[in-house]
Structure 1
Amino acid sequence: MNNRNRGKNTGDDVLFGTEKQLEKLRAAVSDMHYLLSRGYPEKTSSELVGNRYRLKSRQIQALRGASASELQLKERQTKQVAVQDLENKAVFLDGFNVLILLESLLSEAYIFEGLDGCFRDLSGVHGTYKRVNQTLKSVELIASFYKKSGISKLVWVFDQPVSNSGRMKQMVADFASEQHLDWEAELQFNPDQFIAEHAEIAVSSDAWILDHCKSWFNLVRYLIHEEELSVNSVRIIHDEPF
């Protein structure tokens, strides 16, 4: 067993652990939402807001993840489905996106609740994925969801160019075989587009997928409540998510 996890970075408590910083981030998300809703590009908006509030790079990363335009929020709300809508349906899961978020959550890293009700983390693949102590537990949580929801099939989609994606595909296949689960695993060069085009129901917190898929399910929010997970979540929004 390795000793890796996806816990907090040094300095995260300073950036996200005080009410002063959270109030600054909430104001930044409100401003970012205003700009996005009026057609400003995300990069320009985050630069303007980041400069105004003197945000550090990880705070800007959290800001981008939490923000969306009014049109994006309305369209995502329209396409979101509840757990009771999943029975006998095939669900496509954004493999690294969901795994890394769950690994971060289980490592007690900060995760951030966005305007759309999705949680997002500050970790990333950066061309290489490495298993951590929380990887198996994350897969087990997804298996619990699979069994409780009554979905007909779960399709994991991994980024083929990412190092170790083939190993993760095999791990998922082996786990499914041992547990007698109807799972499939795909390697795709453009997993976001593949999920958007092929999934009847997508599971991801990736903004592009949420904006282009047919429908989506908020798996991590479901797991937090259903499994009563302890979460180091940061709410940097003023209004209730939809």
Structure 2
Amino acid sequence: MSPDRRKHRGPHPDDRGLFSDEVVPILREAGSHLSWLLTRGYTIRSSLKLVGDRYQLHERQRIAIRRASCSKQSRDDRTSRLLSPSETRGQALQVDGLNVIVSVEAAIAGGVLLLCQDDTIRDLASVHGSYRKVDETTLAVRLIGNELETTAPESTEWLIDRPVSNSGRLAEIIRTEATRRGASWSVELVTNPDRILKSSELVAASSDSAVLDRTARWLNLTRNVIDTYIPEAWIIDLRLPPSASN
């Protein structure tokens, strides 16, 4: 396998066609059907194959509707535990480091972002055991820092996946930014951030669906950063229309 030499977290060469304005309504309809099946207890694997085959979706389009869709029960449950920035002020916050940073990098670089049915923003980037600093990394951390400064939690702990290669370098970038702005962030390299976030009583900043289904309270940090600082981001709205019912 050739080494990862990407300098940006931008779009795939095929994304302009796969996520064109003409295609998005089809993806939204497919996502609605996928959520309908999930709400009724069908497995994600069988449901995604059924819907993907029916709409003849490309693999990246299938990934998109999978990441954007959830059951009505999951959506309502996640929403019930979501805190606004003002509600997070003065609270202890734990940041799902790679999860948030990679999405903000993608936003800066013009990559496809998904506005999902639980109102989070997720990306289509893949970090499978290896993280590589890209041109957008330092700016991404800085913009996240701006939002954290505005939100003003009592404390901020960044959790970075130790098993992911180059995670130590990313931790140093975050620590450097903390020093630059005089922030008292802690940055921890841990084996499994998801496990910590799922069981913690602290506020979790993540858009990972597995985390959101288990964590006590959460902050939609990624979306807050992108909405505030990257209004030009390429966001595909795959939320259900208000009239849709699961």
TM-score category, normalised to shorter length: over 0.9
Counterpart in the other structure of 1:231: 233
What do the CA deviations read for 1:164-212 (whole angstroms, capped 9, x no partner)? 1111112212221232101011112211011122251111110000000
Contact 1:3 1:133 in 2 (8 A): no
Matches within 5 A, 1:179-218: 179-218=181-220
1:5 matched to 2:36? The reply is no
Cα shift at 1:124:
1.4
Structure-2 residue corresponding to 1:17: 20
**Structure 1 Cα separation of the partners of residues 86 and 45 of structure 2:** 37
Other-structure match for 1:126: 128
Partner of 2:221 in structure 1?
Answer: 219
- Decide whether the 8 Å contact of 2:94 with 2:157 is kept in 1: yes
Offset at residue 132 of structure 1 (A): 0.7
Kindly indicate whether the alpha-carbon contact (under 8 Å) linking 1:87 and 1:149 is maintained by their aligned counterparts in 2: yes
Secondary structure of the corresponding residue to residue 157 of structure 1 = strand
Q: Give how far 1:25 is off.
A: 0.6
Local SS of the residue matching 1:6: coil
Moved over 6 A (4+): none
List per-residue Cα deviations over 1:120-145 (Å, max 9, x = no partner). Answer: 11101111100111111111111111
Q: Please say if residues 99 and 135 of structure 1, whose CA atoms lie closer than 8 Å, have aligned partners that are also in contact.
A: yes
- Candidates 38, 41, 45, aligned match of 2:40: 38
Q: Compute the TM-score of the two structures, normalised by the length of structure 2.
A: 0.93
Deviations 1:27-60 (A, max 9, x none): 1101101000001111111111111111111001
Structure 2: which amino acid aligns with 1:9?
H
Q: Give the distance between the partners of 1:36 and 1:43, measured in 2 at CA.
A: 10
1:228 deviates by 5.3
Mapped contact 1:224–1:231 kept (Cα < 8 A): yes
Q: Which of 5-14 and 197-206 deviates more?
A: 197-206
Normalising by structure 1, what TM-score? Answer: 0.94
SS of 2:218's partner is coil
Does the Cα contact within 8 Å between 1:92 and 1:154 map onto a contact in 2? yes
Is the 1:104–1:121 Cα contact (8 Å) retained in structure 2? yes
Match of 1:112 among 98, 114, 125: 114
Unaligned runs of 5+ in 1: none
Q: Which amino acid is 1:4 matched to? A: K
Q: How far, CA to CA, are the matches of 2:56 and 2:140 in structure 1?
A: 35
Q: Distance in 1 between matches of 2:103 and 2:60?
A: 16
Q: Distance in 1 between matches of 2:145 and 2:105?
A: 15
1:223 is displaced (CA, Å) by: 2.0
Take 1:201 and 1:171, find their aligned partners in 2: how far apart are those partners? 23
Indicate the residue corresponding to 2:81 in structure 1: 79
The alignment yields a C-alpha RMSD, in angstroms, of 1.6
Q: Which amino acid counterpart does residue 10 of structure 1 have in structure 2?
A: P
Give percent identity, aligned residues only: 32
SS in 1 for 2:13: coil
- For 1:113-192, list aligned pairs within 5 A: 113-192=115-194
